[in-house]
Structure formats: C-alpha cells, structure tokens
Structure 1
Amino acid sequence: MEAGMETGTGAIKSGFVALIGRPNVGKSTLMNHLIGQKIAITSRKPQTTRNRIQTIYNSERGQIVFLDTPGIHKAKNKLGEYMVYAAESSLKDVDAVMWLIEPGDYIGAAEQHIAKMLDRCGLPIILVINKIDKVKKEVVQSTMEAYRNITRFEDIVCVSALHSRNLEALIDSLFRVLPYGPRFFSEETITDQPMRQIASEMIREKALRSLGEEIPHGIAVVIDKMRERPDGSITDIEATIICERESHKGIIIGKNGAMLKKIGTEARKEIETMLGGKVNLKLWVKVRKDWRESDILVKNYGYDKKELRE
C-alpha cells in the first residue's frame, strides 16, 4: 500500500506532533514560525505557555498538527500541576514528538526526566537544538554528541526558531516519521483555539512583557465579554486581569492607570491584527488571593485537567 502511495496516488501524510521541553527553550516561538503566523504567546519569562495549544501546518505533502505544551518543570502549586499534566498527557494523543533543547552538553535533572518520559512513550522522537544562532558550531556539535546516548532519536535537527533557520529541514524530518492519512482540519485552519482564548492570551503576553519578574506568574486573564457590533465595525472586548495581591493590583494599574493603559493599548493592536478589524478593549484588575493554590479558581480561569482528557 505504501509503495502505491509513494508512486503518485495523491495520498498525503498527516499526524499530531507534540513540542516538549523545559520552560523558555523557544517552543512557542518555533511553533509560530513553523506555521507562519503568531498564535502562541511568547516572552522571556519561564512558564509563559500554560495550556496545550494546537496549530496546523498545511502543504501539498500533508498536514502536521502541532501541540505546543507548557514547559516541563517541578510543580509548586495547583496551576503548576495542571501545566505539567498538560505537557505530559499530550504524549498520549500524538504520532511523534519534537524535544526542544538549547545548546549545551550538560544534561541536567530536567532533561533526564524528559528522556525517561520519552523512553516510555515509544513514539518517534526528533531532537531539535534551538538557538544555534547564539553559540559557536563547536557547542552545537558537543550538544549533539552529548544527547545521542540519552535516548533514541529518529533525527537531530539544529534550528534557530527566531530567525527561521533550517525549519524546512525540520518539516522534512517530521513528514518522514508521520503516517499516511487524511487532513484532520481544513487547509484554511491554522489553530483550534477559540478567538476568546487567543485574545485572553495576547493580553496576558503584554502583561508578561510589561511587568516585573514576580507578578506575571500570579496573573490570569478572563474575557468577560467579546462581541462584534451589529454593523461589524468594532469588536467590543471586556477582560479582567486576575492577580494574587493588593500590592500587585497597584503595580498592574500603575500610576494614574499608566501601566494598565500600556498593556491594553499593546494588546488591542495585536488583537486587531488577528481579527482584521477595530477593537474596543476595556480592562479591569481584580485580586483573588493565592488563586494558583485553589483547584476551583485554577479551573475557573481556564486550566481544567478534565478538558485535556476530552
């Protein structure tokens, strides 16, 4: 059957691919550049991605559905437990795995944990060494040599996600390991994420980039209202930024509301680009003390393990 497929019967390859790695190795940046459009939010801060996010790559060869997952780390609260669960449970639903790392031949406890997890999953694994633009070739070579013996790999691909270097080679490698099958989404679809969720994440990204080191880990964003006006001229969005401390609320709002205005202005521009039209964005800030420690609040703010099982 495969021989017939390879001789031009029009069959394509398709499958689901999980992006796995420690926090802040560039998974979301890589996914955005692979599909050529921003869907997953990015920042320099670890644990930026909290949910599993699916994006879709389409070509004549077939379709790849990427699952961007939260960085695998030692959970410190209920939100952290959800994030690790979201990452590790994604391996049950995919056809292949991309393990994203940074250059360096030291293999720490986090990498050892990921390697053992991947050993158990029995899936084709492609090791992706990202950020090669930041180091010398000798460092990249030593990284490859160090990781060759940690687990089995179908391929090792060196890329710069930020500069879109060698991404075609990565796509080629993925199509080699994926099975033949149908497209799971239409060729026009680039993500399964609802617009409300993408808008929420874009607001959180602007907060992540604008605020200090401590506060962003303790914020969530809830879309209270998102509605296009009858004439289609403007989309009205009302959203609440949730934080854990009264002192944090003051910092998020800023002097005379300057910080909240900055976050809102930057988020509005990006949401307008996504929607292709004008947006009227209103933001509020509420305190929910230690919400990351509460099962109920973690679920209420969009991080429910049950939804990952569906």
Structure 2
Amino acid sequence: MDRLQAMRIFVAVINEGSFTQAAERLTVSPQLVSKYVGQLEDYLGVRLLNRTTRRLHLTEAGSAYFQRAQQLLADIDDMEQQLGSMHTQARGTLRISAPVSFAIRHMAPLINDFQKTHPGVTVDLQLNDRKVDIIDEGFDVALRIGRLQPSSLVAKRLAPVRLVYCAAPTYLAEHGEPTSLKQLNQHRYLHYSYMDESVTPSANRKLESNNGDVLVDAARAGAGIVLQPTFITGSAIRAGDLKVVLSSFSPEPIALYAVFAHRQLMASKVRSFIDFVDGYFGDPPYWDSF
C-alpha cells in the first residue's frame, strides 16, 4: 500500500463527501478508492469511516486522523512547492569556502554583483586556506587555487593564476637582482608554507608564513624576495612598490577553480553562482594588468 496515496484518497473522500465524487476528482475508479481506504483502516487497525447507503460518518479515530492527515498533506505540498521554487529560482543560503587572501582582495565585488542579479540568495562566505571537505562541512561551492588532484567532485576552471618572483626596489638596490634560481640561496627568501613543493625553489628561507599578504607586505618593506600569485602582488607591482624578478623562471601558471559536489540536479543558487563567476575575472584576469 502506498500510505501517502491512501492518505490523499481518504482526505479526498471526506472533503468530497463520497467515494464516487472523490474518485472523479482524483480520476481513479470508485473501486480503487474503496480499496485504499480499506487498506488504510487495516494498516492502522481502526475504523475510520462508518458507511451507510446514503452517507459517510467519521469515527472518533477517523476525525482525529483526518485533521492530522490534512495538515500533513498541506505541509508536504508546501515543502515540494518551495523546493521546486528553489530549483527554478536562485534563493536560499549559498555557503562558499574561499582562500583568505584571494577572498579579501577579490570576492566582495563579485558577491555584491551576484546578489544584485540574484537578490533571493544569502551568501555565507568562509575564508580558509586549507582544503575543506565541502560535503562533510556543508559547503555548496569551494574556490580553490592550484593543480587539482582527481576526485569525485566537479571542478570548473575560472581563471589562470600566475606566480611571480618579486622584491622591493630598495631590497634589489642593496642586494642586487638575481639572474637564476640558484642565486636565491644568496638572498633572503620569503616562503609561503602552502606553496606546492613542485614549484618551491631551494632557497635561503628567512621568513615563512601561511598567509600570502603577510609575505607580500614583508617584501614591500624590503625583507626579501617572494613568490606569490599576481592577484596579491599585482597592485604593488603597478604602484612600483614591488618589481618582478626572475621572470624567465616563473612557474607554469596554475588556476582558480570552483569546486562543487554534483553537476546534475544542482540547486539553482549553486548553478546561478557557477554561471555568474565563470568569466567574471577575465582571461587574462584583471589583476594581471601591470
């Protein structure tokens, strides 16, 4: 027995006043209506209706069941309507995980523009440089930078990310400009602890941090040479506070990705965000204009 269908048929019988009229409204046979009501009574172990040739009478149990069933079916219909609306219209809370330095510098305009287009979406943006588990930690989307490893998650490439060596002109004036990676051993190197080891030079590490902004600010102050993405260093390079060095030895560009759990049956808020952020930063991205 389909309990939900039996419940709907029982409620329809009471609302319509007869098995025949309920059958007409539900476009089923009167025999099927009678069968479902009988099965429901057998399942519940109580009589719901007293039937005469002319009228139906609710028993005490039937009256209580009818009131609760009617409310339950209304709640189910309302829930399905809301879920359907969420699937077709971008609404609800969108939980995003993003790297700290990137988000501080570039996410606020993106989210503002996205919410202007999709005002029904509330954004919960959490900043973290570690690789979060988007399913276990309840995120809809994670922005990640680097070379992604194969996984069951779906990754959408959003923009290239260039890594450049740079230092303050004052530091280079005092210590000279290196012409090879080997010469980094003769300089003060500012190391990002989350940097992929495949692109990390063997160098004289005088400062190490898990935050790129700290390292870039140290480089601007003349503390040494840093390898960081242009989405952090670009503004300082444009302003002349940093100078690109070893440009011939810059690592291959990596990329910014949007990572999410499923490509099929995505909530509209997720699909809308993925579509919106695709191409938002440009290719090449705007932070490379120096």
Question: TM-score of the superposition, structure 2-length normalised?
Answer: 0.25
More helix by share: 2
Q: Which has the higher contact order (CA 8 A, sep 6+)?
A: 2
Larger radius of gyration: 2
